[in-house]
């Protein structure tokens, strides 16, 4: 009888271990898929930004007219629309919206290639990628529940957007610096929070 109990416990332990391995493999595969989509989206944004900035005619047509406001605000409007429709979209529609959003962001960010050197763009890209990777890893591995941070960070993000829009008219360099610093902190927190939420 004791051999039977021992054997039964051993098989339960093995099943539990196999289930844990299956969960880890599935979770890892899921996270890799998400980061692959993000990488493709980032690539689309970068490529579109580079192509638009390389065409003086296109830059003049967009940023030399009131269309510049549409291009600058389109990603924000798209995020709001996407957030509203997210639960009713199929995965294929969500992917297509992601590619459209990425292209819009590329057009919106194309002036970066005019305003800054390729060296400074590359430096900021790698710093941002390393920060994102570090905070995403923290959000993935931490045992601390980050749920409470979500609503606080989202309110901070809304405040940041409103203050940024106001500063377009104020043109205050001190406010711009403060918004940059606050923005970095908000997005660092959101990266860890969103990674844990996805997990």
Q: Could you give the number of structural domains in the chain? A: 2
Closest to 198 in 3D by CA, of 17, 13, 7, 35 = 35
In terms of domains, do 53 and 95 share one?
yes
CB-CB contact of 191 with 133 (8 Å): no
Q: What is the pLDDT of residues 118-130, one digit of tens each?
A: 888 888 888 888 8
pLDDT at 52: 92
* Pair 37, 79 in one domain: yes
Residue finishing a domain among 64, 82, 115? 115
Q: Which of 6, 48, 30 is nearest to 91 (CA)?
A: 30
Residue 13 has pLDDT above 80, yes or no: no
Does residue 122 form part of some domain? no
pLDDT value at residue 21? 62
Supply the range of the domain harboring residue 58.
Answer: 1-115
Q: Are 111 and 141 in the same domain? A: no
Mean pLDDT check: name the lowest of 4-13, 83-92, 99-108, 118-127. Answer: 4-13
Q: Are residues 61 and 159 in the same domain?
A: no
Q: Given this model, what pLDDT does residue 165 score? A: 80
Asked whether residue 57 is domain-assigned, the answer is yes
Q: 63-76, pLDDT tens digit by residue?
A: 888 888 888 888 88
Query: What pLDDT, on the 0 to 100 scale, is given for residue 105?
Result: 92
Residue 99 has pLDDT above 90, yes or no: yes
pLDDT at residue number 166: 82
Q: Among candidates 119, 111, 124, which has minimal Cα distance to 63?
A: 111
Residue 48 in this model has a pLDDT that exceeds 90:
yes
Burial zone of 92 (CB within 10 Å; 0-12 exposed, 13-18 middle, 19+ buried): exposed
Residue whose pair of structure tokens reads 């605000």 in the numeric block: 73
Q: Burial level of 65, CB count in 10 A (0-12/13-18/19+)?
A: exposed
Residue 87's CB: how many other CB atoms inside 10 A? 6
Same domain membership, residue 57 and residue 108: yes
Looking at the structure, tell me whether residues 8 and 102 fall in a common domain: yes
User: Do the domain assignments include residue 176?
Assistant: yes
Considering 25-39, 95-109, 147-161, the range whose residues carry the highest mean pLDDT is 95-109
């Amino acid at each position: 009888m004791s051999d039977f109990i021992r054997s039964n416990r051993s098989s339960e332990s093995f099943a539990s271990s196999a289930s844990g391995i299956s969960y880890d493999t599935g979770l890892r595969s899921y996270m890799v898929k998400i980061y692959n989509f993000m990488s493709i989206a980032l690539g689309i944004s970068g490529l579109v930004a580079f192509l638009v900035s390389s065409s003086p005619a296109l830059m003049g047509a967009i940023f030399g007219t009131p269309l510049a406001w549409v291009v600058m605000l389109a990603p924000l409007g798209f995020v709001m629309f996407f957030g509203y429709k997210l639960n009713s979209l199929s995965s294929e529609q969500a992917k297509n919206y992601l590619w459209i959003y990425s292209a819009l962001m590329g057009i919106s960010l194309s002036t970066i290639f005019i305003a800054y050197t390729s060296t400074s763009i590359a430096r900021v890209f790698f710093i941002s990628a390393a920060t994102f990777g570090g905070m995403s890893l923290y959000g993935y591995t931490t045992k601390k529940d980050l749920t409470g941070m979500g609503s606080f960070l989202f309110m901070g993000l809304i405040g940041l957007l409103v203050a940024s829009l106001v500063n377009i008219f104020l043109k205050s360099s001190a406010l711009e610096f403060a918004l940059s610093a606050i923005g970095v902190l908000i997005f660092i927190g959101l990266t860890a929070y969103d990674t844990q939420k996805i997990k």
